[in-house]
Amino acid sequence: MKDRDIISERIVDGFVYDPKVLAQAVLEIAEYLGHTMQSPIFPAVFSLSQYLTWEEHDKLLDIFFEIARNKDEDIDFMSVKKKLIKGVPALSSLNDSCVASLIKLYARIYVPELYHFAMTSLNEYEFKIEGK
């Protein structure tokens, strides 16, 4: 007897993947690969884990590009955090450690102009385990 391809059969019959199941699968794979709020692995996974819309995800990139264009001005953690929260209010519940990790993530992947700032100026905001 020939093996049945249930997925193909269901797709042909009009099956549609549930976006909640797909999102959960992505988050589980990301967690397996090491994603945490203190050490996010990809911007889209970060956005997904924070229930950000695609527009908010894009807005983050716009904000980081704007900061990079004006990086000759004095930038510091608090000014960047304020710009992020003003542009994407959904980030207001994040603690400083998570915001610092977000800045490092975008600097590493999308905005190399901010890499030096992210890697040298944000250490005091990193999550630290007590006793270490």
Q: Is the dihedral of CA 24, 63, 40, 111 positive or negative?
A: positive
Q: What is the pLDDT of residue 121?
A: 87
pTM as predicted: 0.78
CB 84 within 8 A of CB 63: yes
Residue 114 CA to residue 26 CA, distance in Å, equals 28
DSSP SS3 for 112 = helix
SS3 for 132? coil
Q: Averaged in consecutive runs of 10 residues, what is the pLDDT profile of the chain (132 residues)?
A: 60 71 93 92 94 95 95 85 97 94 95 92 69 46
For 27-50, give one letter per residue: b (16+ CB within 10 A) or e.
eeebeeeebebeebeebebbbbbb
